[in-house]
Structure 1
Amino acid sequence: MQRKQLAPGVFLTELDAEKFNRCRIAIHLRYPARRQSATDAAVLSMVLERGYAGCPDMTQLSRRLAALYGADLGVDLGSAGGDRVLSADICGIKQQFALAGEDLVASYADIVFGILFEPYLVDGSFDPEAVRIEKESLRRRLQGEYNDKRLYCVRQARRRFYGDNPAGIELYGYLNEIDAVTPQTVKAEYDRILAQATIDVMVQGADAAPVAERLLARLADIRRAPAPITQLCPVPAAPVRHYTEEISGLTQGKLCMLFTRDAAGELPSIHVLRMAMGIFGGTATSRLFRNVREKQSLCYYCGSSALRAAGVMMVDSGVESANIEKAEAAILKELSDLCARPVDEEEMEQCRRTLLAGMDSVGDSLAGLAGWYYGQIMRGEPLTAPEEGKAQMCAVTPGQVQEILQSYSYSVCYALTGQGEEADA
């Protein structure tokens, strides 16, 4: 398990996959998010999945993957604080299982690197028809946000909370900007990403040396100036702001509460943060689940989560419209109680068992293992095995949980209310 630097801003990590009969190559391009081109980046990720110069349409690409014993290919766009991560991965059977001795690893690498470094272009820009199709797909996706009232409430709260903070840039762009997206603007965003991205390639179950050679060959003619990792500033603490939106036909109200961290400087340990969220509202033994949902029956669901880099904690709940204020007060009381008194060891142990069970499943798949290690890379941590992570989880103390929960201040409350017979999402 090593992470080697191959060139400025280019790294390769080789991971053990002895127990699997498949191998996997994944490449991650981490680059600064930019508000004015967020919609172009979203369309780009969708267009790239359609093919590349060697297989310029989805039919040819599907045939090529089928010929490689049914290899799987994926392209994804994700968030990392104020950065975005454009990823492509391919997974197929290991080299030794090729029936005719084919060089499967070379074929896998050519496809996944082709997707990101040799896209199919028409007159120097992306295929207009592919861009048109994916613009409409993105339009339907963004329009569908309103139909999923839980998602809609969360995003409305985030918009009020972040304002112009870089962490608030929408991952999939903006509905009112889709019409302005063109093959040329998508190509300009693609060029920016290639120039600025930190590139991480992760190889599992295959010889990494030829993969590294192919990667450097693809990058040889690309002018690059990798950008530093975006350092986010937490949203400043301020008096809580309440927003209420009435929606006709809504039968189940939605409540989203956002909190900002007061503490500046070093980010909290991911293991302490996970324990804090598990104790507060992230597990079936949490305070919010046991006390607000089960004992008081104030909500249909109620959970907490946190974004470490952005310094934000969220409580997301589905409630009867008449109970929104009661649910809000009950949630705040549970947080106040946790801040006032350390958690007892029995409650810590219940939460810890749940989290450790989840960590046990990390090694059940190649993607799970790769995600574990790339998460450490994104956080700037040394690479450690899941077993070490479990040991660190076991070392978290009640005082650490209390301290991190005490650092959050209530900032934004967004509620959806309404009455009617029409069911909502």
Structure 2
Amino acid sequence: MERKQLAPGVYITTLDAEKFNRCRITLHLRFPARRESATDAAVLALVLERGYAACPDMTALSRRLAQLYGADLGVDLSSAGSDRVLSADICGIKDRYALAGENLTDAYADIVFGTIFDPYLVDGVFDAEAVRIETETQARRLEAEFNSKRLYCVRQARRKFFGDSPAGIELGGYPGELVHVTPASLKAEYDRILSTASIDVMVQGADEARVAELLLAKLAQVRRDPQPFAAPMGMPAGPLRKFTEEIPALTQAKLCMLFTAGENANPPSVSILRVAMSVLGGSATSRLFRNVREKQSLCYYCGSAAQRATGVMMIDSGVEPGREAEAEAAILAEWEALKNGPITQEEVDDCRRGLLSGMDALGDSLAALENWYYGQITRGEPLYPPEYGKVLTSAVSLDEVRQALQGYSYSVCYAVTAKPGTQGKGGAVDVQ
């Protein structure tokens, strides 16, 4: 593997893909999130996936991908701390397997770079019909959040936790602002992203030199002012805030507990956090699973996760309406026990095995390998393979697990529960 800088804020990373008969080219644009254009950014990803200048609609694009032996194209918007990442990827068979000797690398690069650098425009802005369709699509997605009560509870808790901070900007945008999304506003956000983004191209199994050449040709037409990655942040510790929302006919209540590491300039490594979360609630041998779910039968599920870039730890669970406080107390008791009580080598090793097994499986997927390495790039780490990730994970000590958990303070509790007198009347469709 090798990562090289091609231009200011532009990098190309070549990853080994010898064992695969397919190749993959991924383009990541990491840019600063902005509250006033968050909704435009969310819709933009949907519009870009519909086609580009050479294939201006979904029919033409699908036909072109089919001609390339069934290649796959995807466009996505994700978060990296308080930044956003606009990604486009294409995956198809390698050049050596082309029946007529076609140059598939050029064809793949033309599509994925065309998707980002040569979008289909009408009179200098995005196609109005495409914008209308995808704005409606995004509206349906945002409305659907409420139907998944687990997702709804987690997002409501995060809104209370992050407030107006950059990390609190909604990835999917804001429902009330969709009416203001226009072809011109989308083009303005597109131009901002293209100018300010740090660009990483990940190449697996394709001609890296040719991909770099085609990328630089596209960038020659773009005015660039790349911005640095946002530094890791954390919400300050403060008094615990609790919120309860009642919904009629809810069969299973949801509980989301958020903890903050504060403004820690040197957060624990991702390897330490992985092991700590696995021991707390991220595996079937974790404390929360064994004690809160199995022994005490206080929840239907109970899991933990941590995000290093924003200093947040989350524990979310599904509980019987009316037992939220009991479940919360049991969860806090397990957290306190890990912070201040004994941790056995056996339980840490049991939880660690699942992590090591997952790292073994990364080598079976081009997408999983690419995500592994790009995650290191977003964290500012030197690149290392999953095999070395296993070494780092195996080296995490009991004290490091305890210290990581001691670094959090309880900040926000959000409960979604049944309105009194309506519990369980909604039937199975209400269990989300």
Which residue in 1 is equivalent to 2:389?
389
Q: Does 1:337 align with 2:341?
A: no
CA distance in 1, matches of 2:322, 2:416: 11
- How far off its partner does 1:343 sit? 1.6
Q: Is the 8 A contact 2:252 2:318 kept in 1?
A: yes
Structure 1 residue matching 2:249: 3-state secondary structure: coil
Which residue in 2 is equivalent to 1:33?
33
CA distance in 2, matches of 1:78, 1:244: 29
The residue type equivalent to 1:308 in the other structure is: R
Q: Is the 8 A contact 2:9 2:198 kept in 1?
A: yes
Q: Deviations over 1:189-227 (max 9, x none)?
A: 000000000000011112200100000000101110001
Which residue in 2 is equivalent to 1:111?
111
Q: Is the 8 A contact 1:342 1:399 kept in 2?
A: no
Which residue in 2 is equivalent to 1:375?
375
Q: Does 1:202 align with 2:202?
A: yes
Which residue in 2 is equivalent to 1:123?
123
CA distance in 1, matches of 2:314, 2:292: 16
CA distance in 2, matches of 1:262, 1:398: 22
Structure 1: which 4+ aligned runs deviate by more than 3 Å? none
Q: Does 1:15 align with 2:19?
A: no
- How far off its partner does 1:121 sit? 0.2
CA distance in 2, matches of 1:349, 1:295: 21
117-126 or 257-266, larger mean C-alpha shift = 257-266
Structure 2 residue ranges without an equivalent (≥5):
none
Which residue in 1 is equivalent to 2:154?
154
Q: Does 1:287 align with 2:287?
A: yes
- How far off its partner does 1:341 sit? 2.3
The residue type equivalent to 1:252 in the other structure is: Q
Which residue in 1 is equivalent to 2:307?
307
Structure 1 residue matching 2:281: 3-state secondary structure: helix
Q: Is the 8 A contact 2:259 2:312 kept in 1?
A: yes
Which residue in 2 is equivalent to 1:421?
425
Q: Does 1:404 align with 2:404?
A: yes
Q: Deviations over 1:111-165 (max 9, x none)?
A: 0000000000001000000000000000000001111111111111111110011
CA distance in 2, matches of 1:185, 1:206: 35
Q: Is the 8 A contact 2:195 2:224 kept in 1?
A: yes
Q: Is the 8 A contact 1:38 1:170 kept in 2?
A: yes
Q: How does 1:204-243 map to 2 (within 5 A)?
A: 204-243=204-243
Please give the TM-score of this superposition, normalised by the length of structure 1.
0.99
Q: Deviations over 1:68-95 (max 9, x none)?
A: 0000111111100010000000011010
Q: Does 1:272 align with 2:272?
A: yes
- How far off its partner does 1:263 sit? 5.7
CA distance in 2, matches of 1:52, 1:20: 28
- How far off its partner does 1:420 sit? 3.8
The residue type equivalent to 1:256 in the other structure is: C
- Change in CA separation of 1:225 and 1:187 when aligned onto 2, cut-off 3 Å: same
Q: Is the 8 A contact 2:292 2:330 kept in 1?
A: yes
- Change in CA separation of 1:232 and 1:269 when aligned onto 2, cut-off 3 Å: closer
- How far off its partner does 1:274 sit? 0.4
Which residue in 2 is equivalent to 1:175?
175
Please give the TM-score of this superposition, normalised by the length of structure 2.
0.97
Q: Does 1:49 align with 2:49?
A: yes
Q: Is the 8 A contact 2:52 2:120 kept in 1?
A: yes
- How far off its partner does 1:232 sit? 4.1
CA distance in 2, matches of 1:337, 1:375: 31
CA distance in 1, matches of 2:278, 2:247: 32
Q: Is the 8 A contact 1:258 1:312 kept in 2?
A: yes
Which residue in 2 is equivalent to 1:145?
145
Q: Deviations over 1:293-323 (max 9, x none)?
A: 0000000000000111000000000001121
Q: Is the 8 A contact 2:43 2:135 kept in 1?
A: yes
- How far off its partner does 1:342 sit? 4.2
Which residue in 2 is equivalent to 1:5?
5
The residue type equivalent to 2:425 in the other structure is: E
Q: Does 1:82 align with 2:111?
A: no
CA distance in 1, matches of 2:223, 2:263: 39
Q: Deviations over 1:236-256 (max 9, x none)?
A: 101101100110011111100
Q: Is the 8 A contact 2:232 2:308 kept in 1?
A: no
CA distance in 2, matches of 1:144, 1:11: 37
CA distance in 2, matches of 1:181, 1:263: 35
Which residue in 2 is equivalent to 1:134?
134
CA distance in 2, matches of 1:158, 1:371: 24
Q: Does 1:355 align with 2:355?
A: yes
- How far off its partner does 1:345 sit? 0.5
Q: Is the 8 A contact 2:282 2:305 kept in 1?
A: yes
Q: Is the 8 A contact 2:94 2:205 kept in 1?
A: yes
CA distance in 2, matches of 1:295, 1:348: 19
CA distance in 2, matches of 1:298, 1:148: 21
Q: Is the 8 A contact 1:166 1:232 kept in 2?
A: no
Give identity over the alignment, percent. 67
Q: Deviations over 1:351-370 (max 9, x none)?
A: 11011011111110111111
- How far off its partner does 1:262 sit? 3.4
Q: Is the 8 A contact 1:342 1:402 kept in 2?
A: no
CA distance in 2, matches of 1:267, 1:193: 29
Q: Is the 8 A contact 1:232 1:310 kept in 2?
A: yes
Q: How does 1:249-268 map to 2 (within 5 A)?
A: 249-262=249-262, 264-268=264-268
* Count of residue correspondences: 425
CA distance in 2, matches of 1:385, 1:131: 40
CA distance in 2, matches of 1:342, 1:376: 32
231-240 or 299-308, larger mean C-alpha shift = 231-240
Structure 2 residue matching 1:12: 3-state secondary structure: strand
